[in-house]
Structure 1
Amino acid sequence: EDATITATVKSKLMWNDHTDGMEINVDTRYGAVTLSGTADTPATRELAGRLAENTDGVRSVVNNLTIDASQPSSEIAEAASDAWITSKVKSTLLFSRNVDGLEINVDTNDGVVTLSGQVDSGAERDLAVELAESIRGVKDVDASALRTS
């Protein structure tokens, strides 16, 4: 159960707009979560603690995060991570009701997202591009390899 709690807390921190990209370590022992690393503001430190507290199975949280205002902002850290962008675009497409994310391949190089695969219509293609463009860190979207049936 501790491994599940750790994974859930890490996921919450990664997907939150204010805490993703920060250097936060999560350790769980018998439902007690310890956060360590750095946050860029006191508010972000507090938010990370609350996200951990509101996770199923968590009995207590020890928030050992320190404030480091010189740490690069999460936006810069995100933009530098093509792997992060790829996973965020892919999950956004998978969770969209109007796009068949399973049929779309996503690749990112220097912030430029390439979409390839098959979609049912031009409208679905346009929506896939729009969703990809909405992700922070995306500089451009190339959908020339995204075919319509």
Structure 2
Amino acid sequence: MQPRNSEERAGMKRPYNVGLMTSLILVFALGLLGCEQEGPAERAGQSIDRTAEKAGDKMEEAKEAASEKAEEAGAYIDDAAITAKIKADFLADPSLEVFQISVTTTDGVVTLSGEVDSQASIDRSQAIASGVENVKSVRNALMVKAAE
């Protein structure tokens, strides 16, 4: 049975068009719903992102700790160099009994201690230590030996 006119043909197409449209809408809706749900790949990607972020944070912490240790090591080396320079200058000065004077340096602060023969030796030691590069201050704990 074939349709005779355009009205009959239009009437036959309507159920077909409605069914097709309903099917398309249903497929589209299900597709959107599937896109909204996270699959294993999305969850794995998020896990990788979180892990990478944590690793970056740990690397930053390690970098900061290494910088602090390098600064401490540098300060220690600077202090050792200051002490060595002062002792060398004491050795070069014939008026000082270098083995009677102890020199320690911490964070650029020099401490002189021990017993020397005279106030002049105390003053000379102070002047030499103060004149060394990178010395922030000098704590002079030197004492004149008591007469025997």
Sort the TM-score into its range (normalised by shorter chain). 0.3 to 0.5
Higher share in strand = 1
Structure-2-length-normalised TM-score: 0.46
Higher share in helix = 2
* Higher-Rg member (1/2): 2
